[in-house]
Amino acid sequence: MSLPDQAEGTTRRPSRQRSAVLALLDGLDGFRSAQDLHALLRQRGDSVGLATVYRALQALVDDGQVDVLRGDDGEASYRRCSTGHHHHLVCRSCGRTVEVADPPVERWAARVAAEHGFADVQHQLEVFGICSDCAARG
């Protein structure tokens, strides 16, 4: 039972590694695990330590520039996202993701929580499916 912290405009010293991670994420269209990202960076020639990849991702998440998602196996996946509040429609097979918004659910969550006396409310909503490409591919 842990909760997301408030994003703070953390001042960070720029570094080649941090940029590499962000650049890599910019070129990808789905959620990827830290391990995957690390492997991709190595293939690409940008050698970055695994621990640094984790640190960079954590920092980006804290800054709200990257979204993180926990798969059913507990592994965290990361994706470059728009900064506003939104949810995801994720392909279970290839990880391709579409950002979606749903104002009604925001209100619903707030109302339900209030009805039961819960405060400081947050919610998480993700939709999983098989995208048309993967469905066609078999």
Residues within the interface to DNA (CB under 7 A): 12-18, 33-35, 47-52, 54-56, 58, 74-76
The pattern of x and - marking residues 27 through 66 that bind a second copy according to CB under 8 A reads ----x-----------------------------------
Total interface residues for a second copy by CB under 8 A: 46
Show the tokens assigned to 75. Answer: 């592994």
Buried-exposed string 34-71: b where 16+ CB fall within 10 A, e elsewhere: bebbbebbeeeeeebeeebbbebbebbbbeeebbbbee
Tell whether residue 130 is a contact of a second copy (CB under 8 A): yes
In the complex, what is the shortest distance from the CB of residue 82 to a second copy, in angstroms, rounded to a whole number? 16
Q: Which of DNA, a second copy, none sits in contact with 35, Cβ below 5 to 8 A by type?
A: DNA
DSSP conformation class of 96: B
In the complex, what is the shortest distance from the CB of residue 33 to a second copy, in angstroms, rounded to a whole number? 9
Q: Containing H/E element for 82?
A: none
Task: Calculate helix-pair angle for 34-44, 50-62, nearest 10 degrees.
Answer: 120
Tell whether residue 75 is a contact of a second copy (CB under 8 A): yes
